[in-house]
Structures are given as structure tokens and as C-alpha cells.
Chain A
Amino acid sequence: MLEGFNTSGTVIAEHINEALVINLWISVVLFASVVLPMVYLAWKYHESNVKNEDIENITHNTALEIVWTVVPTITLFVCFWYGYTSMVTARTMPAANESITVQVEGSKWKWRYEYAANPSGFVHKLGGAFTKPVRDENGKIVQEGTMGLSALYVPVNTNIILNMTAPIDDVIHAFFVPAFRMKEDVVPGRITKQWFNAEKVGEYDVECAEYCGTDHSYMYSRIVVLPKDEYYAWFNSSDDTPKGDYGKSGDAVLQQHGCKSCHAITTDKQLVGPTLKTRRLTKEQVLDVINNGQDQLGYAMGAMPAGMASGTDAEEIAAYVAGGMKGDQPASFAACSSCHGEDGKGQYGTSPSLVSYDVDLLRNVLKHGKKGMMGTMPAFPYVSEAEIQEVAKYLEAK
């Protein structure tokens, strides 16, 4: 992937690349100035070519010494100068009234963007987590990792200023756009800034370049540079994503709030939380989980965080999750069937489907019961570990 690297579509990128190229040539010359004489001398004065009487103890040569001090020094000043001027290009913020300012928030492990209110007072909030590629046991990718549709949408040929920060209890990240050769740390409790002006319509990848823990290597995002009219059409609307290729909104919104970094959507895979490919929850129930979080199922990660989304977004997600996602029976399963149905797929309104439950979840539910969204599941504290395993294996086979 890494979109757009060779496009180099900004002034900053051009200037920094120029600095790099000049530095490259200087380095090659200086490298040669050391290594070529070395190889030559090692060959010329190799012991097989030299008689002891010919050895001379030369310890000084003022002219030469001045040359090899002054010339590299000059080249270093050249390097400094290009480093300095390209930094000035990168760091001189354009005037705010000639630019679009976007608030960027980096947190473990997602990027979020907030725009100024548009003419009708609507505030666009975008961004979210990258969905990790899902792999099977052999490491083969069964579900591609993707940034989905969420991105930082900006118009072409316009100054964009990023005001960046991280939540106060989070850690340092760095907003790195290789294609634009730009990078700056995002520090909790501080506001740092970057700017760019993209000259080419297209997509560019964003990476997190400051180590931030478990999913540091998945903290990607995208910048989508749009033609001006497309951008403003979107900006002035209250749509989540621009028209065109950008908007299967349910998926995009799910994406944007970072659900997909923890929940699989199209497979039965358990990531951090349970898969959402299931029909067992109603819209209201999902809404409840989104608003209040949930911490009952005993996943290693702990709680499902509250307030991942709100308002119309949350409703939309809830509808999406609730609506779209979908043997020999061991004797011990008889205890479950009364509530969960013969096939374990749940009975409408009273008990959830167990089809996607794994061992951890099952053990927890059986030991502690489960209170909540669909009435209470009674606890079965005396179920043995072996039985749990058996039930789990059975369910898995479905």
C-alpha cells in the first residue's frame, strides 16, 4: 500500500527531497574521499611492495591538513543550510485565514479529525482506527487490513494546518505522512502543529511514527485530497464521507469509531471483543452497549468502552450491527437448550445466540451468569472445566 509516496505532491516534500539529494551526493563524495585513498594506499604500500628502508615517518603536512578540515566543513555548512531552509519551509505555518485548520487527535490507536463548523453549523468529525488484517493459523490473510473509507478529506491546492494533540491520559504519537515528508509528535497536554498544501488529487497514507504500544504498527490513517468542488460539496453537507467512492456509510462509521480494531465484522474471528457478525442483538441493545460500554463477558481486554459513538451515529451503527451481521449434541447441553434453543442459536427476545461464543466467554457466562441486555442468564457455578470445553467445542463446530 503506502499510497502516494512517489507523488511528492507538496512544496515541503520537494524541498526536503532536494536537501536529501544534495546530502546524498555530498556523502558519496566524502565517502569516496576516505575509502578510495584507503584502498589505494593499502594496495600501494602493502608489505609485499615495500622495503623497510623506504618507510618514511611523515607526521605533518599543513596544507593537506587544512584542506581536509576546511573542505568537509564547507560541505557541512551546505548540508546545514539545506536542512535549515527545508525545515523553515516545513515549519512556517501559513496565515490561518488563508488556510483550513483541522484538529487532529491521536490516541491509542486511532486518528481522529475535527473540522470547523460548516456554514450550516454542522461539525464534521472523522477518522478512526485501521482494521488489522485478519489471518488464519498459517498467517494467510483472510480479511485484508484496511483504513476503510474514513480519512482526512482536504481540498487540493489549499493550505491545511493541523492542530494536533492527544488525550491527556494517553501517550505520545507522531503524525507521519511519508508522501509529504512531514512528521511531528502528538503530545498529550500540548498542541503541536503541521501544515501542508497538496498539489495532486489522490490518496496518501498516514503512519504513527512514535512508539505507542501494542498496536503502534497499525496506527494508520489516510489523507484523501479531493478536487475543490467535491470537497466543498461534502464539507457543506452533513454527510460523513464525500459522494462517490467514499460512502457506504454504515461501514465507514463503524470504521471511524474504531469498532473494527476490536471486533471482526465479516468473519467469526474474535479479535479483542466478540465478533459482531451476529443477529442476536436488537438495535436498542447495541445502542446500550455503545453508550454505556459493557464489562461482563470476561474478555482479556476487559471492558467494552462506553461512548464510542453518540447521537445519530450511534443509532446508525446500532441498526447496522443488529440488522446485518448472522451435529451431535453433547448431553450437557441439555441444561442450556431450555433457554438457548435446541440448536443453541438463541430464542428471540429471551436469550442470545451462542454460536460465536468462545471458551473464555462461555466460561465466564456460566460461572457468573450474565445480567443485562436481554434479561438475566442464570449462573451455573458448578459446571466443570471439562464440560465448558465440551460445550465450547460443540458450539465451535457449528
Chain B
Amino acid sequence: MSKSYFDETHCAIGHPKTKVMQWLLTVDHKRIGIMYAAVMFTFFFVAIFTAMAMRIELFAPGAQIMDGDTFNQAFTLHGVIMVFLFIIPGIPAVFGNIIMPLMIGAKDVSFPRLNWFTFWLYIVGCLIALSSLWTGNGFADTGWTFYAPYSLNTDTNVITTLVAAFVLGMASILTGLNFLVTIHRLRAPGMDFFKMPLFVWGIYATAWIQLLATPVVGITLILAILEKYFGIGIFDPAKGGDPVLFEHLFWIYSHPAVYLMILPAFGIMSEIIPTFSRREIFGYRTIALSSASIAGIGYLVWGHHLFTSGMSDIAKTIFSFLTFFVAIPTGIKFYDWIATMYKGKVILSSSMLWALGTIVTFAIGGLTGVTIAMVGSDIHLQDTYYSVAHFHYAILGGVVFLFFAGMHYWYPVVTGRLLNETRAKVAFWLNFVGINLLWFPMFIAGYYGMPRRYFDYLPEFEIYHQISGVGAAVILAGLVLMFYNFLSCWKKGELSGTNPWNATTLEWHLPSSPPPLENHTKVPYVDFNPYEYHHGEPVVKFDYETMKRID
């Protein structure tokens, strides 16, 4: 068997002998992607653990297993890990790294050493974040939004968390920068922007957001840190500072950040749907450009998080109006995907199931986003469980589900194996039923006035929280099954060959699976569109020795 990237690698410094050092020092984009996945996966279980603890706590009114302060730390820990450690690096760091260079026919990203450095910066950030669990007065209890002046007054360990968020932000900026240059410079000859696979478009739009939005939150966090250390006064009303300014600066980043999460996920959807419909995608250009416009408009709508903050009514109106313009390109994408199935040949494999399931759950998440984008409704629903349910549907039922779809889809590229399909499908259904049980009741509770970040609640909300608790257990079962599948098939799964799905993009035209260290034997000349099918068969075929087209 030919050598794969598991057998040999390039390193940042020297030529280490041991396997471990070869992993730790590797600059190979595929290995770095895998390491990101492994680390995220570990942290994610910490966050799931706190989520489950919260669900148990909320199972009945009153204290079950923790007191109010612990609960406040729990949802902060949950939010911080999920957002900063997991979902923002998320798909770009894992699939952006592993798959994107393969898709554009590059040997690696533009700055492989920087990529390696970024990974370790990310690790340092994670360690700083977790260190505050054991140092100082315990983990921050501010919520992941760190609103001033609460974050300035509390004596929990907010500084460490802020520093961690800052370091992770730097890692995110550098990743985005690396990908932007890669996509601009390293596309295979002939591949112009409108011949790029849609996942690459997603990563491209995301990279711009990472680059342009993160510095603002970076400096906001620095100001908050200085505020806590030296009392410079910027956000402290007792010194003339304005706490609402903090909210603006925070959301200038953190709103675009939610599109930073979803755009690469949409990219995954756009890969899976044509492959398993065995036909060209409907409306390639509109999908590509809608990613760009979501990224662009996404900058202008941060104020919809501040509808009840005391902002002026004119500003509210403008922000609300602009917010609706994000929904339009998203809607267009949805209809394009659906239309892609028309007169195709729909194969309901596990990855396709995840993709279609996400259409349902993200539609719920997105449409409820529209509800709270209406200023009037949001006056009532702001900071209730309605908005919590909205974003869990959007993140969990959108980003994370598509992340899973991607893991099923690209599993053969990464490992050279196939998953156990039956297990994968059972896991999907558990997750799908679970998420709806878990979060749908929360829309109702939110509408009836259940505020978020409540450790204890009025008895009439008990029923919703109990259904929700059951949903959390179901989803957990699904997760465990799914990860068991991933791990056990890594060694034991059937060999997949290079193109098990009959897909068309370049990552399926590698000489072997898993791919060799420097990817394609030779760089192909790309004079074709990414999803060319004829009667259900990929049009483009290569001779893998010379990478010349032979169709």
C-alpha cells in the first residue's frame, strides 16, 4: 500500500524521530486538522457535561444539584467552551484545514508554519481558559457575553477567561488570514473563483469575517482587562464610562461570528446535496454569492442584540430592517438546495440524512431568528428562553449537525474507511428527535415569560423543562453512539477507496485514500465546474499518475 500522511510528515523544526513528536511538530494541514478535531472533541465533552448538569438542575424548580452561583458559572463555562473553543474554530479549523487545500488542488496552505503556530496558540488559549477553573475565585460567572459592569464587579476569575478569549481570537484571525491567502494564491491553474467548490466559498467568506471582525472584539477584551486591572474607566459608569458601549463592541464581533459559524456549514450542505442527488447543483452562482452577501450584511446588524438595551429607537429600526436582509440570501440558498433534488437521484445515505435533517432544524432556528429580528416581538422575547432556543436550533441544529454531516461525508478521505451505515442512521434519528424535544418546548416557555440564565424558576415552567431534560438525554445517547461509530470504524471499517460516493470535486480524485503527504500526485488543470454529472456519473476522470483528464 502506498504511503499516506499518517506514515510520513513535514515538521516545523528538524526531523523528529518519535511518532508523538512528529504529530506535535507537524505542519501538514491534514494532521493539524485532525489534531484540532481531537482537542475540540475533548473540550466539547466538558461543555456537554456542564450542559447536562444544567439540564438536571433545571429539571425541577429549586436547587437540585448545585447552587445559584455554580449554575452561573456552569452556563458561562458551557457558553465559553462551546463558542470560543469549539464552534468558532470548528469547521474552518477542522475541514477548512483538511479538505479545503485538497479541493483547490494545493499541496498545503500558504503558510504551513503559521498554521502550526496557530494550532498551538489555540491550545494555549484553551489551557488559559480552563486554568481559571482551578485558580482565583473560580470560573467566570458572567455569561459568555461578559457584559460590563457585571464582569468588572464580580470577583470570579474573569481576567483569565478574557485573556483566553483574546488568544483564541488571535488564533482565529491567523487561521482566516492563512486561508484567504491560500484561496487567493494556491488554486490549481484554471480554477477561477466560479469554479471553486461551494465549501471553499464558505471558507472564503468565513475567513474574511474572521479577519475583519475579530480584531474589534480583541481590543474590547483588552480594554476590559485593563479596566479590571487598572480601572481605566472605559466601561465603568462610576467613572463616566458607558457599559452599553461594551455591548456594541462585543456584538460588532459576535454577531458576524454567528455567520462565521454557519457559512462553512452551509458549504458542507452544498457539497453533500449535489453528490447524493447525483446531479449538478441548482444555482451555483447564487449560492456562492449569497455566502458573500451574508458575510457582508452580517456586519451591519449587530444592533439586533440590543433592542432592549436603551439604544435609540431609530437605531433599533435600522438594525431590525437590515437584519431581515440576511434572511433573504439564506432563504435563496435553501430553495436552491431543495431544487437540486428535482429530477436527480436521491440517495439517503447517512450524510444526506444529516443534511436534510438540518434543513428542517435550521429552518426552525432561522425562522425564529426572524421573529426576534422584529423589534416589537423582541421587546417581549429578548433574554427569554425563546432566544436561547433560537440559537440552539441555529447552532446545534445548523452548524453542529452539518459538522456531523461533514464528518460522515469526508470520513473516507480522512481515514480511508467507511462508517457503519446502520449505526450512523440510528444515531441521526436519536439526535434529530432529541434536539426537537430538547429545544422546541423552550420556545413556548420563552413566550410565556421564562427568562434565560435563571437558576430557579416558577412552577408553571416545570413541564417544559422536563420535556427538555428528556430530550437532552436522547441526544446524548445519539452522540455516544455516533462517536462510537467514528472511533470503532477508524481501524475496523471497510476500506473505502478514493471515491466511494461518486463525487466530483478534487478531494475525491486523490491517488490513494487516505491521501499521501503532499496530496495530489500532480496538480490538475481545472477547466471544469465543480459538480459536473452526466446521467448520474461524474463527468471528469483523471489519470492519477499524470493528473490529466481522460474522459
Contact = CB atoms under 8 A, between A and B. Distances in A.
> Does A touch B (CB under 8 Å) in the complex?
yes
Interface of A: 1-2, 5, 15-16, 19-20, 23-24, 27, 30-31, 34-35, 37-38, 41-42, 45-47, 50, 52-61, 64-65, 68-69, 72-73, 76-77, 79-80, 82-91, 132-133, 135, 139, 141, 168-172, 174, 176, 178-179, 181-185, 187-190, 192, 205, 207-218
Given A68-B335, A89-B376, A188-B237, 17 more contacts: A27-B371, A46-B348, A47-B345, A52-B345, A76-B324, A90-B376, A91-B313, A176-B383, A184-B308, A185-B308, A187-B243, A189-B242, A192-B310, A209-B384, A209-B451, A214-B68, A217-B454
B550 interface: no
Contact of A217 (B283, B347, B457): B457
A65 B289 CA distance: 14
B318 to A, nearest CB: 10
A176 B449 contact: yes
B346 interface: yes
Interface residues of B, number: 93
Interface in B204-246: 237-238, 240, 242-244
Interface string B432-470: 000000000000000111011111111110000000000
Chain B CB within 10 Å, residue with most, of A83, A174, A179: A83
Interface stretch (B141-149, B489-497, B509-517): B141-149
A35 B363 contact: yes
A1 B320 contact: no
Nearest to B455: A217
B346 A169 contact: no
Interface string B149-178: 110011000000000000000000000000
Interface in B352-402: 356, 359-360, 363-364, 367-368, 370-371, 373-380, 382-384
Nearest to A54: B343
Interface stretch (B116-124, B410-418, B530-538): B530-538
A322 to B, nearest CB: 31
B331 A72 contact: yes
Contacts of B332: 65, 68-69
B328 interface: yes
A172 B153 CA distance: 11
A118 to B, nearest CB: 30
A208 B181 CA distance: 47
B308 A55 contact: no
Contacts of A210: 147, 383
B63 interface: yes
Chain A CB within 10 Å, residue with most, of B60, B68, B141: B68
Contact of B277 (A20, A45, A83, A209): A45
Nearest to B539: A57
Nearest to B447: A20
Nearest to B64: A139
B453 A190 contact: no
Contact of B283 (A60, A132, A168, A182): A60
A190 B346 contact: no
A213 B154 contact: yes
B533 A57 contact: yes
A90 B377 CA distance: 11
Nearest to B332: A69
A209 B383 contact: yes
B471 to A, nearest CB: 20
B321 interface: yes
19 contacts: A1-B459, A23-B374, A31-B363, A35-B363, A41-B342, A46-B348, A55-B278, A55-B533, A68-B331, A76-B324, A76-B328, A76-B370, A88-B313, A90-B376, A178-B449, A184-B308, A190-B237, A205-B449, A207-B449
Chain A CB within 10 Å, residue with most, of B64, B149, B379, B454: B379
Nearest to B367: A27
B279 interface: yes
B62 A141 contact: yes
A45 B370 contact: no
B448 A5 contact: yes
B338 interface: yes
B149 A23 contact: no
Chain B CB within 10 Å, residue with most, of A37, A85, A205, A213: A213
Interface in B267-324: 277-284, 286, 308-310, 313, 316-317, 320-321, 324
Given A34-B363, A57-B280, A190-B244, A87 B535 contact: no
Interface of B: 60, 62-64, 68-69, 72, 141-143, 147, 149-150, 153-154, 237-238, 240, 242-244, 277-284, 286, 308-310, 313, 316-317, 320-321, 324, 327-328, 331-332, 334-335, 338-339, 341-348, 356, 359-360, 363-364, 367-368, 370-371, 373-380, 382-384, 447-449, 451-460, 533-537
B504 to A, nearest CB: 12
A79 B459 CA distance: 33
Contacts of A91: 313
A181 B379 contact: yes
A87 B375 contact: yes
Contacts of B382: 174, 183, 209
A54 B343 CA distance: 7
B359 A34 contact: yes
A116 to B, nearest CB: 23
A68 B244 CA distance: 39
Contact of B343 (A20, A58, A64, A215): A58
B451 A208 contact: yes
Given A46-B348, A190-B310, A86 B334 contact: no
B376 A213 contact: no
Contacts of A35: 359-360, 363
A55 B280 CA distance: 10
A132 B374 CA distance: 35
B377 A172 contact: no
A53 B535 contact: yes
A178 B147 contact: no
Contacts of A61: 339
B327 to A, nearest CB: 6
Contacts of A60: 282-283
Given A35-B360, A55-B278, A87 B317 contact: yes
Contacts of A85: 376
B238 A169 contact: yes
Contacts of B537: 52
Contacts of A73: 328
Nearest to B460: A2
A170 B238 CA distance: 9
Given A76-B328, A168-B237, A215-B68, A86 B377 contact: yes
Contacts of B339: 58, 61, 64
B244 A50 contact: no
Contact of B364 (A31, A47, A80): A31
Given A87-B376, A211-B143, A168 B238 contact: yes
A213 B72 contact: yes
A349 to B, nearest CB: 39
A1 to B, nearest CB: 5
Contacts of B64: 139
A213 B359 contact: no
Contacts of A176: 383, 449, 451
Contacts of B317: 84, 87
Contacts of A171: 149-150, 153
Contact of A57 (B279, B370, B375): B279
A76 B327 contact: yes
B536 A52 contact: yes
Contacts of A1: 458-460
